[in-house]
Amino acid sequence: MDRSSDSERARGGISSHQPEWGRVLHGRADQEIRIPEVAATAQVGLSLAGRSAAQLRPPIVSFVLVNWNYGRYIGATIDSILAQDYPHFECVILDNGSTDDSRVVIDRHVRGDRRFRVIHLPENLGQLGATLVALGEVKGGFVTFVDSDDLLFPDFASTHLQVHLSAPRSVAVTTSGVAEVDGAGVVLTSQYATIQLDRHGVAKGLRDASTVIRLSTISDEQFRTLHALTAVVPRWTKGWLWAPGTGNMIRRSVLEMVAFNDRNATYMRSADGHFLPLCHAFAGTALIDVPLSAYRIHGENYFVNRESLLGIPNGTPEYAAKSRRESYESVASILENARQNAWLLRESFWRVVDISTRVHSDDLKAYYGAPSGVEIFERHAATLREAVGDRAFIQNICARFGFRDARRIIAKGFGGRAPARLQLKIFRLCRNRKRMKALLH
């Protein structure tokens, strides 16, 4: 990003001045967003209760950058990763079969930095497909998927990590605000996609500063500001909570729990759409109402899925149909690992299955009853039955399907044919609407 021009600075509000955090954080309609210019440091220190915690090694952040023909923008994206004030990161760049000059641009900007690894895929596996490949390559405890046309502000990693390490409980995801910039990196509006802290049931604030691990890049004052602008959302909150594209940091251990078993398939869909709702349902999200990355509006955005081949405008019936088709894959990913998930989630297992559909509870039966819904449950019926036990299996299938489908799925669970004694039971359960409805979330 070129910050040399004064006129641009004045117009856009991206300033190379010292960070004015307080003002940035409270920046709303009339205030400019300033991006702190910080010299990259060799080391970030950790401390605990005012003492150096040199015996602990800083967390590793894994940036995963999936690129498809964004040679025009990816250079600036890479520069913004190199400019992080938190040096303990690795970055895997997956070039998803690009046909433009991406390869040259990537090499020029990475400049041989050993924290970067570039993988060129021979063909486009889709954003989620490429992300799954990348997931097998990273080792950090925390992962950020970076869109190759977005920019990170220098304190992105520091701030997200500080929240991960000081939220009242350890959560799966941290999400921060996003500033909108145009193709040249100039802020279009000082409004940014806001992170709504005032939600029902959120727990505001961080743990006491003297009892958490502190990063040397986050000052006392900044910690206090973060404390005021952070909230943890309970796992059951439905709806979209997260920053678009870049702007999230996810625990790798939780990502691994919800990743598909087949990591080498093509998944022409967004990684966010799969990972964020599921990781949240597993272990919650912390909201950070501070803009820490920038989202480019450049007239060529590929909407949510970011794949030009499948670029169907958001809001159209085609888009809705595509989202729905994709959501069955997410549900299937929970079911295929039912044994692990039923153990991890215990009594919340079925609730997470319902949340993974991303449809309203009134629409759940129609959703499950569609051919794709019946098919994935039939396919995983045996695994499911073994994971949750006969009683819970039968009840929860009857709660989600009509009699005919329930009978078929349960039969599959019992190896092809349900015991005769169950036929009447299934029939009765399916008819007991009130009781069955109580099992839906």
Partner 1 sequence: MAAPLVSFVVINYNYEDYLAEAIDSVLAQDYPNIECVVIDNASTDGSREVLARYEGVDARLSIRRFDRNLNQMGALLRILDDLRGRYLTIVDADDFIFPNYASQHVLAHEMAPRGLAFTSSCVVEVDGAGCVLTAGYDPFLSNVVQARLWDGEANAVEGVGATDRALLLEAIRLVDRDDPKWRWSPGTANMHDLSLVRATRPIGHAEAYVGATDNYFMWLNHAIAGSAQILTPLSAYRHHGRNRYGAMPSVAGLTIGTRSGVNRSAVRRRDITLALASRARAFQQLAPGRFWKLMDAPAAADGQPVELYFANPLVQKILIEHRAELLSLGAAEVERELAERMGRKAARRIARA
Residues that bind partner 1 (CB under 8 A): 46, 48-51, 53, 55-60, 88, 140-141, 164-166, 168-172, 207-208, 210-213, 232, 235, 251, 253-254, 282-284, 343-346, 348
Q: Which is nearer to partner 1, 38 or 48 (CB)?
A: 48
Structure tokens at 272: 């966010």
Shortest Å distance, C-beta 114 to partner 1: 17
Shortest Å distance, C-beta 46 to partner 1: 7
Q: Which is nearer to partner 1, 13 or 59 (CB)?
A: 59
Taking the C-alpha atoms of residue 194 and residue 178, their distance in angstroms, rounded to an integer, is: 7
Shortest Å distance, C-beta 394 to partner 1: 22
Q: Which is nearer to partner 1, 110 or 255 (CB)?
A: 255
Shortest Å distance, C-beta 251 to partner 1: 7
Give the Å distances, CA to CA, from 176 to 152, 355, 391: 11, 22, 42
- Within 8 A by CB and 6+ apart from 441, the residues are 236, 350, 351, 354, 355, 361
Q: Which is nearer to partner 1, 181 or 241 (CB)?
A: 241
Pairing of strands 142-147, 61-67: parallel
Shortest Å distance, C-beta 386 to partner 1: 13
Query: What number of other Cβ atoms are within 10 A of residue 340's Cβ?
Result: 12
Taking the C-alpha atoms of residue 353 and residue 349, their distance in angstroms, rounded to an integer, is: 6
**Ordered alpha helix ranges (H), 209-250:** 220-228
Q: How far apart are the first and last CA of the chain?
A: 46
Taking the C-alpha atoms of residue 425 and residue 81, their distance in angstroms, rounded to an integer, is: 59
Shortest Å distance, C-beta 346 to partner 1: 6
Q: Which is nearer to partner 1, 50 or 416 (CB)?
A: 50
The per-residue DSSP string of 336-365 comes to HTHHHHHHHHGGGHHHHHHHHHTS-GGGHH
Q: Which is nearer to partner 1, 168 or 205 (CB)?
A: 168
Sign of the dihedral defined by the CA atoms of residues 325, 329, 331, 336, in that order: positive
Taking the C-alpha atoms of residue 69 and residue 1, their distance in angstroms, rounded to an integer, is: 19
Q: Which is nearer to partner 1, 164 or 412 (CB)?
A: 164
Q: Distance of alpha carbon 13 from its chain centroid, rounded?
A: 28
Shortest Å distance, C-beta 23 to partner 1: 29
Give the Å distances, CA to CA, from 203 to 206, 225, 351: 9, 16, 21
Shortest Å distance, C-beta 8 to partner 1: 39
Kindly report the backbone phi and psi dihedral angles of residue 54, in degrees, each rounded to the nearest multiple of 5, phi listed first: -65, -20
Q: Which is nearer to partner 1, 212 or 268 (CB)?
A: 212
Taking the C-alpha atoms of residue 360 and residue 440, their distance in angstroms, rounded to an integer, is: 10
Shortest Å distance, C-beta 205 to partner 1: 14
Q: Which is nearer to partner 1, 127 or 285 (CB)?
A: 285
